Amino acid sequence: MSPRDRVLVIAATNRPDSIDLALKRPERLDRRIEIGVPSPGQRLDILQHLLVGVQHSLSCEQLESLVSATHGFVGADLAALGNEAALSALCRYITLKKVIYNLGIMTIMQKSMIIERLMILWGINTQA
């Protein structure tokens, strides 16, 4: 490597206070660029971007309420929130399907029992 070659190091952390002092010396990591948390407008943009191509029923008012409730969230937090919401909806859907299925089985069993009782009352042999 010649003296003219330069190495560019880019580092990222969410804990700048824990960076070793040796790395903060001159000629090491000279520039620090801090990227703060998104503003409400930026959070709205992030949420709208995350919702592109996703079937949802959020109204504009609900989206604005979500933006207000997520103060301090960054893009990764908002993405995780979306994933959790999707998983929660899926679990509710699966539970609902199980309930409907079980109700259907119960209904079939109840109908069978009623039919069997009627056949006994009418004297029809069920042991054929």
* Residues 43/82, Cβ–Cβ less than 8 Å: no
For residue 64, the tally of other CB atoms under 10 A from its CB is 14
44 assigned to some structural domain: yes
24 assigned to some structural domain: yes
Mean pLDDT, all residues of the chain: 81
Q: Give the chain's radius of gyration (CA, Å).
A: 31
pLDDT at residue 126, as a whole number: 53
CATH number of residue 30's parent domain? 1.10.8
Taking alpha carbons only, the member of 99, 85, 11 closest to residue 50 is 85
4 assigned to some structural domain: no
92 assigned to some structural domain: yes
pLDDT at residue 120, as a whole number: 66
116 assigned to some structural domain: yes
25 assigned to some structural domain: yes
Q: pLDDT tens across 24-74, in order?
A: 888 887 788 888 899 999 999 999 999 998 888 889 999 999 999 999 999
User: What's the total number of domains in the chain?
Assistant: 1
* Residues 24/16, Cβ–Cβ less than 8 Å: no
Q: Indicate whether this model's pTM tops 0.85.
A: no
102 assigned to some structural domain: yes
Which residues span the domain enclosing 113? 16-121
pLDDT, mean of residues 102-113: 68
97 assigned to some structural domain: yes
**DSSP codes of every residue in the chain:** --TT---------S-GGGS-GGGGSTTTS-------PPPHHHHHHHHHHHHTT------HHHHHHHHHHTTT--HHHHHHHHHHHHHHHHHHHHHHHHHHHHHHHHHHHHHHHHHHHHHHHTT--S--
Ranked by mean pLDDT, which of 49-58, 65-74, 78-87, 90-99 comes out on top? Answer: 65-74
pLDDT level of residue 85 (50, 70, 90 thresholds): confident
